[in-house]
């Protein structure tokens, strides 16, 4: 029962200062994520989802509280927590292969090992034919595959994804969701995934964390017990969706009142 969680967010708050003005982006966030879990953060824009993810990634320092990974405070960005950005963040001067090999090469692994790792992940995300293409030659979906592959190739234990499929067309998005679940199930990854689509959250997550704005905070958590693979058209799925959407709207209604 008292198994050590991979991630333990304890009373995390973040206040930004912008031109002398203080913006409370996040207040007293508490969240525990177990190894291998798929957790989705959902909520209106401005409720601190990105801030929370960036604190876990080590890009931002919390103003109060702390984020613990395996019981150790997050000190800064590191390869154990890979981030997948909505705008991809690929290195435009590197080919698909070189982008995927960036992490392993940075860590000084032997060339042959880097090459083998790269080949494995190029194939895993289905980009064999585009291995020597530059990012500007790829579609959005392919770029995001490269972004996912490069954190996996770097042995990330936890993948942090900030609306990764938000800029993709519906068909590509569905396909990438399937591929992501497939990779997740094969690798025992832990995923923290930000989205503003209720359907996407229910389709992907073991647990959905609902956030609220003004100031940003965690409002509620919902375990999703639907068996996988999930069918978005099934009555059970729709029931969960209706339920969660009512919860989200009741938060909003309370704010408006």
Ligand X SMILES: Nc1ncnc2c1ncn2[C@@H]1O[C@H](COP(=O)(O)OP(=O)(O)O)[C@@H](O)[C@H]1O
Cβ distance 160 to 85 under 8 Å? no
The DSSP line for 227-240 is PSSP-TTSHHHHHH
Q: How far apart are CA 40 and CA 162, in angstroms?
A: 10
Q: Which CB sits closer to Mg ion, 121 or 165?
A: 165
Tell me which of 6, 7, 25, 183 binds ligand X, using CB under 6 A.
25
Residues in region 138-197 near another protein by CB under 8 A? 138-139, 141-142, 150-151, 154, 171-172, 175
Binding-residue pattern over the window 19 to 58 for Mg ion, x denoting contact by CB under 5 A? -------------------------------x--------
Does 154 bind Mg ion (CB under 5 A)? Our answer is: no
141, 168 contact by CB (below 8 A): yes
Paired tokens of 174: 């569905």
Applying CB under 8 A, among 8, 24, 66, 87 the residue interacting with another protein is 87
Options 33, 38, 49, 205; binder of ligand X; rule CB under 6 A: 49
Residue from 5, 48, 58, 101 in contact with ligand X (CB under 6 A): 48
Phi-psi category of 115—alpha, beta or left, where left has phi over 0 and alpha has psi -120 to 50?
Answer: alpha
Q: How big is the chain by its Cα radius of gyration, in Å? A: 19
- Binding partner of residue 237 among ligand X, another protein, Mg ion, none, CB cut-off 5 to 8 Å per kind: none
* DSSP 8-state code for residue 110: -
Minimum Å gap between C-beta 233 and another protein is: 20
State which of positions 146-185 bind ligand X (CB under 6 A). none
Residue 47 CA: distances (Å) to CA of 66, 148, 183, 213:
19, 25, 29, 4
Tell me: cis bond preceding 229? Omega within 30 of 0 counts. yes
Show contacts with ligand X in window 211-240 (CB under 6 A): 216
Which residue, 11 or 77, is less far from another protein as judged by CB? 77
The residues that touch ligand X, with contacts defined as CB under 6 A, are 16, 18, 23, 25, 43, 45-51, 216
């Amino acid at each position: 029962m008292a198994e050590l969680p991979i991630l333990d967010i304890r009373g995390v708050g973040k206040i930004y200062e912008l031109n002398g003005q203080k913006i409370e982006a996040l207040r007293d966030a508490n969240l525990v994520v177990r190894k291998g879990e798929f957790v989705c953060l959902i909520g209106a824009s401005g409720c601190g989802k990105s801030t929370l993810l960036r604190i876990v990634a080590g890009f931002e320092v919390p103003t109060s509280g702390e984020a613990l990974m395996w019981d150790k405070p997050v000190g800064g960005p590191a390869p154990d927590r890979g981030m997948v950005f909505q705008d991809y963040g690929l290195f435009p001067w590197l080919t698909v292969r070189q982008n995927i090999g960036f992490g392993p090469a940075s860590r000084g692994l032997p060339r042959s090992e880097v090459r083998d790792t790269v080949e494995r992940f190029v194939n895993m995300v289905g980009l064999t034919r585009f291995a020597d293409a530059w990012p500007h030659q790829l579609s959005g979906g392919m770029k995001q595959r490269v972004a996912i592959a490069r954190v996996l190739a770097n042995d990330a234990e936890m993948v942090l994804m900030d609306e990764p499929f938000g800029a993709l067309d519906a068909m590509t998005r569905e396909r990438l969701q399937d591929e992501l679940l497939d990779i997740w199930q094969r690798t025992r990854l832990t995923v923290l995934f930000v989205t503003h689509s209720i359907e996407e959250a229910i389709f992907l997550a073991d647990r959905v964390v609902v956030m609220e704005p003004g100031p940003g905070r965690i409002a509620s958590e919902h375990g999703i017990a639907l068996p996988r693979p999930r069918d978005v058209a099934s009555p059970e799925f729709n029931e969960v969706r209706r339920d969660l959407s009512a919860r989200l709207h009741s938060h909003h209604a309370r704010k408006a009142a």
